[in-house]
A and B are shown apart, each in its own frame.
Chain A
Amino acid sequence: MNTLFDRIGRTFLRLFEQTGLWFDALWRTIAWMFRPPYDVGEWFRQMVRVGVDSIPVVFLTTMFTGMVMSLQVHQGFARVHAEQFVASVVALAMLRELSPVLVGLMVTGRVGSSMAAEIGTMRVTEQLDALKALATEPIQYLFVPRVLAGVIMLPFLCILGDALGIYGGYLVSVKLMNTNPVIYKQNTFQFLQLNDVWVGLIKSSVFGLILTLTGCVRGYYTTGGAEGVGRATTYAVVSASLIILLSDFFLTKLLF
C-alpha cells in the first residue's frame, strides 16, 4: 500500500516539477527575447524548419482529413436529407478545430521531437555548457528562435490546412457525390464568420508555443546519454500532444 501511495506521490511531484520547469522556461524565453544580440538569421532558419519544411505533411494530412470528413458527413446527412449542409460543416470543422489540432499534432511529431533530440544531444555532449562558456545563453540562442518560429509559423500552416481541407471536401462532394459545385461553394461560406478563422489561428499559435517549448525544455533537461536523448524525444512528443489536446478544450471554451 505504501508503495502505491509512494508512486502516486512521486508521479504528482514529477508532474508539478515538469510544469514548473515549463513555465520557468516560458518566462525566461520571453525575457531573453527582448535582449540583444538578436539572431535574426537563426529566427528565419527556424521558421523555414518549422513552417516551410512542414508543408508536405500538412498538405497530406489536412487534405485527406477534409476528404474523409466530407465523405462521412455526406453519408450521415443523406439519411436526414441535409446534404446541403455538408459544405458548411466541413468548413466550420476545419477552420475551428481540425486544421489547428491536426497541424499542431503533425508538427509536434515532425519538429517537436527533432528539437528535443537536437538540444538533448547538445546537453549530453556538453555543447550547452560550451554555449554558456562562450557567453551565450542557451535560452536566447536555442529557445527564442524555435518558440518564435512555432508561434509565428503555425497560424500560416493552419491557413494552408484550412484551404486544403475545404478543397479536399469540395473535391469529394463535387466529384464523387455529384454535388453542384456552385452550391457547395456558396454553402461553404454562407455560415462562416471571421471569428471562425481567428479562433483557429489563435489556437494554432498557442499550439506552436506548446510544441516548440515542450521540445526545447525536454531536450534541455536531458540526462543519461543516448538513452536519455531517446527518452526526452518520446516524452516531448507525448507530453506536447497531450497538452495540445487538453488545452484545445479550454481554448475552445474560452474563444467560443
Chain B
Amino acid sequence: MPIISLQNLWKSFDRRQVLQDMSIDVEQGESLVIVGGSGTGKSVTLKHIIGLLKPDKGRVVIDGQDLATLKEVELNQFRRRFGMSFQEGALFDSMSVFENIAFPLRRHTKMTEKEIRERVHECLEDVHLHNVVRKRPSELSGGMRRRVGFARAISLKPEILLFDEPTTGLDPVISDVIAELIEEMDVKLGTTTVTITHDMKVAFKIADRVAMLYQGHIIEQGTPEEFQRSKNPIVEQFIEGRAQGPLTDD
C-alpha cells in the first residue's frame, strides 16, 4: 500500500483550474520528485499532501487515512508525522535559529531543555551548519535559511519529508550542496520524501522516481533514467530547457 496516495485531485482558485484529475502514489521510503513549469500546481500538490489545502474533488490518503475525514484537531496531530521545508525557509523571524528548531520540540514533546539543546545541535549537524544558533533568520544567507528550514523539518523525526523548491534562487554550487544534503538525509533518516522543483539537475540527483506535472495532472513518471529517455515532447523540452516546443506553444 502506498504511504501517500493522491487520487483524482481537482483544485481551482477563483476561476483558475490548477489541478485537474491529478493522481500519484508514493511508496514508503521512496524519494519522489515532481517537476513542472511555474504555476503548474506543484506547490499546490505539496500543500494537499500535508492538508494545508483541501481538494475541490478527489482524495488525499496518507497511510490509509483519508485526510478529509479528519477533524481540525486530528489533522493537526496527524501533521506531526510530516516535516516540511518551504521555498524561502519560512523561518519565524521573531525567533533565533535555535528557537526555530526548538519550536516543534517544545510544543509537541516532553523533552527537557538539555535534551532540546542536544536535539537542536544534532539537527544542525545533519544539515552541516555550525555557530548559527543565536542568529536571527534575517542574518542568514538564502542557502543557510533553507538548511535551517530542513533542520526544523527533521527535528521531530518525521516519517514523510516534503521539500518545496529547495534550490530556487540559489547559485549552482549551493544548489548542489542542498541536493546532496537532501540525498544524505533521505538515506540517513530513511524517510519518504516528496520534493518539488524545476531544477532538473537536482531532480535527477535526489529522485528514485521523477514525475512531471503539466496542465494540472501528471503526464510522465519513471526512474530518472526512464524519465530522461522519455519521448514525450513536453518532457523533452522541459529537460532540455528549450524555448521552442509544445510547452511554449500553449
Shortest Cβ distance from A117 into chain B, in angstroms? Answer: 12
> Looking at the complex, which one of B47, B91, B107, B152 makes contact with A135 (CB distance below 8 Å)?
B107
* CB of A1 within 8 Å of the partner chain: no
A73 to B72, CA, bound (A): 56
Chain A: interface size category = 10 to 19
| A127–B79 CB distance below 8 A | no
Q: In the assembled complex, which residues on chain B have CB atoms less than 8 Å from the CB atom of A132?
A: 50-52, 76, 79
A130 to B104, CA, bound (A): 11
| B90–A127 CB distance below 8 A | yes
* CB of A24 within 8 Å of the partner chain: no
| A125–B107 CB distance below 8 A | no
Name B85-130 residues within 8 Å CB distance of A.
Answer: 86-88, 90-93, 103-104, 107-108
* CB of B157 within 8 Å of the partner chain: no
Q: In the assembled complex, which residues on chain B have CB atoms less than 8 Å from the CB atom of A130?
A: 84, 86, 90-92
Q: In the assembled complex, which residues on chain B have CB atoms less than 8 Å from the CB atom of A134?
A: 79, 103-104, 107, 152
* CB of B82 within 8 Å of the partner chain: yes
Q: In the assembled complex, which residues on chain B have CB atoms less than 8 Å from the CB atom of A121?
A: 93
7 nearest A-B pairs in the assembled complex, by CB-CB distance: A130-B90, A133-B84, A126-B90, A135-B79, A135-B80, A134-B104, A126-B86
Q: 26 A-B pairs, CB-CB below 8 angstroms?
A: A122-B92, A125-B90, A125-B93, A126-B87, A127-B91, A127-B92, A129-B86, A129-B90, A130-B84, A130-B86, A130-B90, A132-B51, A132-B52, A132-B76, A133-B50, A133-B79, A133-B82, A133-B84, A133-B162, A134-B107, A135-B76, A135-B80, A135-B107, A136-B76, A136-B104, A136-B107
Residue numbers of A with Cβ under 8 A of B are 35, 37, 121-122, 125-127, 129-130, 132-137
